[in-house]
Each structure stands twice: as C-alpha cells, then as structure tokens.
C-alpha cells in the first residue's frame, strides 16, 4: 500500500516526518496522515516524493 511505502522509504533515507515535510513544503501532520492512511498525497506530490 502507498502508506507503507511512504513510511518505509522515508525511514530508509533517514528522514523524520518533520524533515520530509520541510523538503516538500508541507506540514508534518500531512506526512503523518499519509503514513497512517488517513489521506493520500495528490499525484503531483507523489511525483515530488
């Protein structure tokens, strides 16, 4: 699933949710919601990731 892949890739790169959020110009809460499956990033954001 997308949420599992996002979390795994972030951890493999040694990034915290806060660091990933800063790089993508979004909130840490948005990253958290993606990783819990509460919401999903849009296609444009997926391309950036």
**CATH code of the domain containing 7:** 1.10.260.40
| Full-model pTM | 0.90
| Rg of the chain over all Cα atoms, to the nearest angstrom | 10
Backbone region of residue 28 per phi and psi (left: phi > 0; alpha: psi in -120 to 50; beta: other values): alpha
Q: What percentage of the chain carries pLDDT values higher than 90?
A: 94
Residue 38 lies in a domain: yes
Give tens-digit pLDDT for 10-23: 999 999 999 999 99
* Averaged pLDDT, 17-36: 98
Q: Could you give the CA distance from residue 37 to residue 14 in angstroms, rounded to a whole number?
A: 21
User: Above 90 in pLDDT, residue 49?
Assistant: no
Residue 49 lies in a domain: no
Report the alpha-carbon angle 30-34-37, nearest 5: 135
- Which range marks the domain in which residue 39 is found? 2-44
Residue 30 lies in a domain: yes
């Amino acid at each position: 699933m997308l949420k599992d892949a996002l979390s795994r890739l972030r951890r493999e790169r040694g990034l915290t949710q806060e660091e990933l959020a800063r790089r993508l110009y979004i909130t840490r809460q948005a990253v958290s919601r993606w990783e819990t499956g509460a919401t999903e990033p849009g296609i444009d954001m997926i391309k950036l990731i």
